[in-house]
Amino acid sequence: MTLLIKYTLIYGIVLMLVALGGCFSEHSGVINIALEGIMVVGAMAGLLVLVMLPSSIVAFWRVFLSIASAALAGLLYSALLAFASINLKADQTIGGTALNVLATAIALVLVKRYNNGLGGTQSPKLSFANGDFLFTIGPITVNVFLFIGLILLVVAAIVLYRTRFGLRLMACGEHPQAADSVGINVYKMRWAGVLISGFLGGIGGLAYIVPAAQIWNFEVGVSGMGFLALAVMIFGQWKPGRIFLAAMFFAVFKALANIYDSTFLSALNLTKEIYNMMPFLASMIILAFTSKKSRAPKAEGAPYDKGMR
Amino acid sequence: MKLADYVIEMLNITKIFPGIKANDNITLQLKKGEIHALLGENGAGKSTLMSVLFGLYQPEEGCIKKNGEVVEIRNPNDANALNIGMVHQHFKLVECFSVLDNIILGVEPNKMGFLQKADARKKVLELSERYGLKVDPDAIVEDISVGMQQRTEILKMLYRENEILIFDEPTAVLTPQEIDELMQIMKNLAAEGKSILFISHKLAEIMAVADRCTVLRKGKYIGTVNTKDTTVEELSAMMVGRQVNFKVDKKPSEPGEVVLDVQHVTVPSKIHKNNAVKDVSFQVRRGEIVCLAGIEGNGQTQFVHALTGLDNLSAGTITLCGKDITKASIRNRSKAGMSHIPEDRHKHGLVLDYSLEQNMVLQRYWEPQFQRSGFIKFDAVREYSDRLIEQYDVRSGQGSVTIARSMSGGNQQKAIVAREIDKDPELLIAVQPTRGLDVGAIEYIHQQIVAVRDAGKAVLLVSLELDEVMNLSDRILVMYEGEIVGQFDPKTVTVEELGLYMAGAKRMEV
């Protein structure tokens, strides 16, 4: 049971962070299907910084710098999507898909290059120590991302619903012409929305890999967590509070895959693959039933053109 | 007269778009505290002129003065800074936001970026009280009536303390009661010293509410008149450039055999548990125009949807030329001789992002004359579309290849009318065929409908405009709460009598 809680919290926070990122991007009017790629790039940058930092640095700074670089890398990578879809008015889905494909490739090249420099191996794997990220509360080991995630959740909700920025951001995703007619710079707001999603997505990438492993193979990227986060965002109806609940719900399924053999489920003699499929099957079934009622930001996906009326 | 008597002057404005002079040397002078109407047909350049004033377009020539000083308006923010506000024809409201959020959007009261809505709410309630603009600040825009949405737009301007208010065809979307309310609101605003520019092509409204009226025609300035010194006839002649016949010329009808036979049709409502259409039976015969009249929302829309196959009916039969089409698909109804000029031309009439020629063959592309083994004969389509454009005088920028979305509303409607009539139908169903059109286009479309009747076809007209009902029809059926409550001959019934039936005060067995 403690194991289930542990993994549910790890994956739940990851899904929530990334889905919140998607939520900001979509509220500004840009569909961010590149979340998967942004996670990969963020995780790679964070891990590379982590392994390259000299061991003399104190734990706090080690943690802070690797998370900051993950966020920054995600943000920079999402700038590509922003530029393509806002300035060049490219199709957002195609641009995002391209970035997903590119991200894994970038990560492989850079990680192999790094390993090559160390000892001549061309391995896409990165070994790292995650002890600095973990804490123990009672019987459960938690990680620093739990606290960061909960703080960011509250911040996200306040920004969206209590600030001028949030009101304007959502106006741009719903009715950009209306926003424009009252003097809001739609392009600027959309850039902000996408960059925030990159920031959160980058952290989410690192949060997926660091707490649960000591070695990561970049050939698997982040194994579909970015897409699952999109499902979480839709199930959460683009609202931070509901996104949190939706993320925890999906995380239970994802966690089961890790721990099923230590529970009563092992008696069923099902293969691991079944459990690995569970979150994705669940997302398909749930979205099939709920998507009819879901209310996406109205103008998302459509490039904004001042000339169109 | 001193210069400063005018709060806004647009002097010798010329605005050129590729291939067309939208505004050609137009001068418009607005006095403080007056309601100034801007009248013109669709495509006369009214909206362009207002867009210039609102900073959406830059004029090639001419200048704008405010209180006698030359000003430059490069974008809506500049216009806002000069206290110029605009209610657009298509509201610019965020539908999932509250009324209050929409009003403050862009000028949000805030502390360090955090919204401070309490003061804004107080100010909105004060304004709403002072000008008689009833709104619920916490209601979500998508849940409120069109009239309240418009009041929200007006409050948006007042909240920004705009002095010059532009209304772009504000009555096109309103019910008669809402129009009366709006007229009163506009008068209140003018009495409080606001200056109002009122774009319209509805002459009666202009006569009722405006002090002065400037008329444009085909991008040119025709003149400015005081409304109390002029008549509807004079204004319409200025607008169209010739005398307009308000009365439709038509011979008495000679009804022939039955074309459409509707028996006991019942249609369930999508909003409430009751039926939207209850046990409706009537016939339409060759050579007659039968009009289904009624106040909006009494089941006409649902009835037409069931009749044309857009929706299912729960009981009853529909027979067209002796053939039961109750369960027929839309294409089969069309093939059986049904033409439909839909109420919502954007939703059901046109594919807005298709070209005009593609729209012209929407229901016929599969016919042998337009395709061979699944491949469209583009030459034949172009030829056909060019002929319709010519014959029905559909005006557009680039002819057959024009994207439908870029055309004016009147010409979009003419294109639909051309397509539906040219199919040579047995039954023409025309729903609100002249909604939002100017008098020239209305006259034209009415003539076309009468021509269809005279060619021996059956016509079912559904209209909310009593003038149209009285002028065009040979037989009037009144619909009230989903039932037919009266049948009349337009030559013997009065508008007042019809009104009583439409309001449900009287009914007869039909």
Q: Which of B101, B106, B114 sits opposite A183 (nearest CB)?
A: B106
Note whether residue A296 is domain-resident: no
Give the DSSP per-residue string, B24-87.
EEEEEEEETT-EEEEE--TTSSHHHHHHHHTTSS--SEEEEEETTEEE---SHHHHHHTTEEEE
* Sequence-ordered list of residues with C-beta below 8 angstroms from that of B288, at least 6 positions apart, any chain: B253, B255, B453, B458, B459, B474, B475
pLDDT tops 90 at residue A23: yes
Residues in chain A: 309
Look at residue B300 and tell me whether its pLDDT is greater than 70.
Answer: yes
What rounded mean pLDDT belongs to chain B?
A: 89
Beta-carbon contacts of A110 under 8 Å, excluding residues fewer than 6 positions away, are A44, A48
Q: Supply the CATH classification number for the domain B256-337+428-510.
A: 3.40.50.300
List, in sequence order, every residue forming a beta bridge with A137; answer none if it has no partner: A140
The C-alpha of A170 sits at a distance from chain B's nearest C-alpha, in angstroms, of: 9
Joined tokens for residue A200: 């959160």
Q: Do A181 and B108 lie within an 8 Å CB cutoff?
A: no
According to the model, what pLDDT value does residue A309 have? Answer: 43
Structurally, chain A folds into a number of domains equal to 1
Cβ contacts (< 8 Å) between B102 and chain A: which residues?
178
Q: Is the pLDDT reported for residue B509 higher than 80?
A: no
Q: For residues B66 and B82, is the Cβ–Cβ distance under 8 A?
A: yes
Q: What is the model's pLDDT at position B444? A: 87
B92·A182 Cβ contact <8 A: yes
Rounded to the nearest angstrom, the minimum Cα separation between B124 and chain A is 17
Kindly list the residues from chain B whose CB atom is less than 8 angstroms away from the CB atom of residue A293. none
Whose CA is closest to B179, among B143, B157, B146, B153?
A: B146
Instruction: Verify whether the Cβ–Cβ distance A168 to B106 is below 8 Å.
Output: yes
What CATH number did the domain enclosing A51 receive?
A: 1.10.3470.10
On chain B, the residues whose CB falls within 8 A of the CB of A181 are 76, 86, 88, 92
Residue among A171, A177, A295 minimizing CB distance to B105? A171
Q: Most B CBs within 10 Å: which of A167, A174, A238, A306, as the mutation test of the B interface?
A: A167
Of A163, A182, A295, nearest to B105 by CB-CB distance is: A182
**Residue A300 lies inside a defined structural domain of this protein:** no
CB contact under 8 A, B77 and A175: no
Does the pLDDT at position B178 exceed 90?
no
pLDDT of residue B3: 46
Q: Do B3-240 and B256-337+428-510 fold alike per CATH?
A: yes
- Summarised one tens digit per residue, pLDDT across range A188-240 is 999 999 999 999 999 999 999 998 888 999 988 898 999 999 999 999 999 99
CB atoms within 10 A of CB B100: 21
Give me the residue spans of the domains in chain B: 3-240, 256-337+428-510
Measured between CB atoms, which of B77, B93, B95 is closest to A183? B77
Rounded to an integer, what distance in angstroms lies between the CA atom of residue A223 and that of residue A100? 12
pLDDT for B303-316, tens place per residue? 999 999 998 999 99
* Residue A184 in domain: yes
ipTM score assigned to the predicted complex: 0.88
Residues of chain A in Cβ contact (below 8 Å) with chain B:
162-165, 167-168, 170-171, 174-175, 177-184, 295, 298
Identity (one letter) of the amino acid at B462? Answer: V
Look at B110 and A164 and tell me if their CB atoms are within 8 Å.
yes
pLDDT in tens, A241-261: 999 999 999 999 888 888 877
| Fold assignment, B3-240 | Rossmann fold (3.40.50)
CB pairs under 8 A between A and B: 66
For B241-274, write each residue's pLDDT tens digit.
Answer: 777 666 777 888 888 899 999 999 999 887 677 7
Tell me: the pLDDT tens digits for B467-496?
888 889 999 999 988 999 999 999 898 887
Kindly report the nearest CA distance between residue A181 and chain B, in angstroms. 6
A21 in a structural domain:
yes
Q: How far is residue A212's CA from residue A145's CA, in Å, rounded to a whole number?
A: 12
Residue A146's domain comprises 2-290
| B99 vs B148: CA distance, rounded Å | 9
Q: Looking at the domain assignment, is residue A308 inside a domain?
A: no
Q: Is the pLDDT of residue A308 over 60?
A: no
Residue B270: other Cβ atoms inside 10 A = 9
Interface of B with A (CB under 8 A): 75-77, 80, 86, 88, 92-97, 101-102, 104-108, 110, 113-115, 156
pLDDT tens readout for residues B331-385 = 999 999 999 999 888 889 999 999 999 999 999 999 999 999 999 999 999 999 9
Question: What is the rounded end-to-end Cα distance, in angstroms, of chain B?
Answer: 64
Between A2-28 and A225-235, two packed helices, what is the crossing angle to 10 degrees?
Answer: 70
The pLDDT score that the predictor gives to residue A120 is 67
Please write the tens of the pLDDT for every residue from A108-167: 999 998 988 877 677 888 888 888 888 888 777 889 999 999 999 999 999 999 999 999
Contact A179 B88 (CB under 8 A): no
